[in-house]
Structure 1
Amino acid sequence: MNVEHRDVDVNGIRLHVAEQGSGPLVLLLHGFPETWYSWRHQFAPLAGAGYRVVAPDQRGYARSDQPEDADAYTLPDLVGDVVALIAALGEKEAIIVGHDWGAPVAWSTAMMRPDLVRGVVGLSVPPFPPAMMPAPSVSRQIYGEGFYQVYFQEPGVADAELAADPASSLRRILVGASGDNPETDEARLWMVPEGGTLLDALPPADELPSWLTEEDVAAFARDHATHGARAFTGGLNWYRNIERNQALMSPFQGRGIDVPALYMVGDMDLVTVMRGIPELREILPLLVPRLHADVTLPGCGHWTQQERPDEVNAALLDFFAHVEAGDAAG
C-alpha cells in the first residue's frame, strides 16, 4: 500500500496532499520549513492500524499554491483550509495532528471547530489560546532583534537567505534544531548574531544524524524548489501574520480546547526554553481539560516525528485508541 498524491481545491487555492489507508480520517499538519514528507514515518504504521492518513503541503509550501498576498496566511485562513480539506475529502470529522506551526493550526481548529475534531495532537508547540503564539512585538522585548521570529518579519530578507541554496539551508535547520546538533548538548533558541543571518547561527551540518538521510534532504529541497526564489516565502508569511492573529483571534479569548488531546515534545526542543513554556505546561490541564497525556521525549530535538518515529507512532496509536474508546462510550 503506497502513499498516493493528488491535489485538492480548498478556499480558492490548491493543496497537494499525500494519502494512505482507509478508515477514520487523520490529518497530519507539518511545520516550518517542512512538507508532507516530514510525516514519512507515520503513514504506514497509522494506515496499517486502520486509519485514513492525509498529510497536506500546507498553504504556501512546496507543491501547494502560494498566495502572493502576505496577509493570506493568518490563523483563520489556515484553520479554514483544514475545515475545507476535511469536507473536500468527503469526511465530517478528523483527528488532527500538528507539528511546529502545524500544532497551532491543529489547536486552533480544535478550539474554533470542535464539532469537526475528534481529537487533537500537538507536537513541539503547546497551545497558547487564543492566538497560539506570542506577538513579535512582545518577543522583541523579551529576546531582542536577533530572535528568529523577529528576524523573519522583514519581507524578503530570510526569504533570499534560505532560497539561495535550499538543500544547504534545510540541512542546517534540520540538524541545528535537532537533538543531534554537534555544537550543543542542550536546547537553545535560534538567535541571529548582530549583522549576521539565521544560517550563521546554525552548524554547517557536514554529517547528518541517523534519522536524516541525503535522500530526505533532497526530497525536502526538491519540493521547496517548486516556488523558486520564493521557496520559503509562503512559510515565512505565516510568521508575518502572528501580530495580526492577536486581533483576529481575540473573540476566542478565554476559550479552552474541549476535545481529547495529546501533547509531545523533546527535552532538546528549542520550544522548551522559550519564556513561559514550563509554566504553560503546568497549567495545560486547565487549557485542555481532556488532556490524555503530556509526553517528554529524552534527547529529542525539535523534529519530533522525524527524530523519534517509533515513540511518536506508539503514542499516537495509544491516543487514537483512547479517542475511539471515548467515542464508543459516548
Structure 2
Amino acid sequence: MPAHRMIDVNGIRLHIAEHGEGPLVVLLHGFPESWHSWRHQFGPLADAGFRVVAPDQRGYGRSDRPADVSAYSILHLVGDVVGLIHALGEEQAYVVGHDWGAPVAWHSALLRPDVVLGVAGLSVPPPFRGAQPPLAVMDRRFDGRFYWNYFNRPGVADAEFARDTRTTLRKFFFMASGDAPGAVGVERMLVEDGRGWLESVPDPEILPPWCTEDDLDALTESFSRGFTGALNWYRNLDRNWELTAPWHGAVVTRPALYVYGDRDPVPAFPGTPDLIAALPRLMPSLRRKPIELAGCGHWTQQERPDEVNTALLDFLTELRG
C-alpha cells in the first residue's frame, strides 16, 4: 500500500501517495478522480523498480484549492508537476497522465523536455493546438450543449454535482465506461438546454466489477469539499489556448506512449479519430503505434489495469534500460 503525505509545491500543498524506490514515475489523474485512480499501478510499477508518486492535483482531494479560477491554467498545472519532481529530490521523471492528467503530462513534456524523461497519455491524445479558442469552437458546433460549455457556467455544474456526490460519481463512471450500453460518441457529452447533465445519465443498479463500492466510497470522500476546484480546470480552456500560443505547431519530442479504449467517448470527439490515426506520422517520438484496448471505456487504467500495466512497464523499462 502506498504511503501518504503532504508536500509544498509552488506555494500550495499537495497530497501525494507514494510507493517504491528507483527512477521516479509521476501519475496524474483526471476528472472526476483522485490519486486512488492509480491503485492498480502502484504495486506492479514499484515491483519493477520504480518510485511511484500519484498526487491529488490542485483542486482535488486533500490538496489545496486556490480560490482564483485563473490559478488552474495549464502553466500552473505543469508548474506543479515540475515543482513536485524537484520537491521529491529528483531532477527528472517519467510522467503518465489520464483524462485531464494526460494534457498536463503532454504539456509537461512539451514545455519542459529537460525534466520529463518520457511521457504516456491515457484516453486524451497529445496536444495539437487548434486555430481558434476551444470553447467557441464547441459552442458553435453543438449549439452550447457540449459539456465544456456547461461546465463554464459559474456555479451551475458545481451545484448539480454536489447535491448527491456519490450518485454523481456513480453515474459519471458508468456513463463513460465500456460497460455502458449504446453506441460510443460525443452524444453522451451533451447537455440539453435547461437541464442538468446528470438528469439523462443512467444510474446503474450494480457497479461494473472494476469499480467496487469501496472504490466509490474513496472517491466520494475525495470530493467532500465539492467540485469547484476540479471544474476550474475546464474554466481555463480558452486561457490555456492563449497561453500556449508560443508553442503553436510544436510537438512532443520526448519518448511517448498513447493508450486508449475503443469505447471511450473522448477519442471519438470531432477530429480526434483522424488525429489518432495520424499520430505515428505527426509525432515521431511515439515508441509504438497508439494502443487501442478493445471493450475499454474512458477509465483506462481502472477498467483494463493488466493491459495498461503491461504497456507502461514495457515503455518505462525500455527507456530505463
Deviations 1:237-257 (A, max 9, x none): 000000011110101112111
**Hey, what's the Cα distance between the residues in 2 that align with 1:103 and 1:134?**
19
Q: 1:54 to 1:132 in 2, by over 3 A?
A: farther
Is 1:241 the counterpart of 2:239? The answer is no
Give matches, 1:146-161, under 5 Å. 146-161=145-160
Contact in 1 for aligned 2:107/2:127 (Cα 8 Å): no
Contact in 1 for aligned 2:56/2:62 (Cα 8 Å): yes
Equivalent in 249, 253, 258 of residue 254 of structure 1: 249
**Hey, what's the Cα distance between the residues in 1 that align with 2:130 and 2:100?**
12
Contact in 1 for aligned 2:184/2:268 (Cα 8 Å): no
Is 1:184 the counterpart of 2:179? The answer is no
Equivalent in 276, 290, 293 of residue 271 of structure 2: 276
Contact in 2 for aligned 1:190/1:201 (Cα 8 Å): no
SS of equivalent to 1:98: strand
Partner of 1:311: 307
Structure 2, unaligned stretches of length 5 or more?
none
Q: Percent of aligned pairs with the same residue?
A: 54
What amino acid is the match of 2:313?
L
**Hey, what's the Cα distance between the residues in 2 that align with 1:5 and 1:93?**
21
**Hey, what's the Cα distance between the residues in 2 that align with 1:133 and 1:318?**
37
**Hey, what's the Cα distance between the residues in 2 that align with 1:208 and 1:131?**
37
Pairwise CA RMSD: 1.5
SS of equivalent to 2:177: coil
Contact in 2 for aligned 1:104/1:132 (Cα 8 Å): no
Partner of 2:203: 204
SS of equivalent to 2:292: strand
**Hey, what's the Cα distance between the residues in 1 that align with 2:294 and 2:185?**
11
Contact in 2 for aligned 1:187/1:301 (Cα 8 Å): no
**Hey, what's the Cα distance between the residues in 2 that align with 1:215 and 1:253?**
43
1:267, distance to aligned residue in structure 2 (A): 0.4
Deviations 1:43-71 (A, max 9, x none): 00111110000000001001100000011
Partner of 1:328: none
**Hey, what's the Cα distance between the residues in 2 that align with 1:194 and 1:224?**
26
1:129, distance to aligned residue in structure 2 (A): 2.9
Give matches, 1:1-330, under 5 Å. 2-130=1-129, 135-181=134-180, 183-188=181-186, 189-225=188-224, 227=225, 231-293=226-288, 294-325=290-321
**Hey, what's the Cα distance between the residues in 2 that align with 1:284 and 1:133?**
21
**Hey, what's the Cα distance between the residues in 1 that align with 2:90 and 2:257?**
22
Deviations 1:6-25 (A, max 9, x none): 00111100000000000000
Structure 2-normalised TM-score?
0.96
Contact in 2 for aligned 1:191/1:201 (Cα 8 Å): no
Q: 1:130 to 1:85 in 2, by over 3 A?
A: farther
1:113, distance to aligned residue in structure 2 (A): 0.3
1:132, distance to aligned residue in structure 2 (A): 12
What amino acid is the match of 2:221?
R
**Hey, what's the Cα distance between the residues in 1 that align with 2:275 and 2:184?**
20
1:144, distance to aligned residue in structure 2 (A): 2.2
1:128, distance to aligned residue in structure 2 (A): 2.1
Structure 1-normalised TM-score?
0.94
Structure 1, unaligned stretches of length 5 or more?
326-330
**Hey, what's the Cα distance between the residues in 2 that align with 1:175 and 1:37?**
17
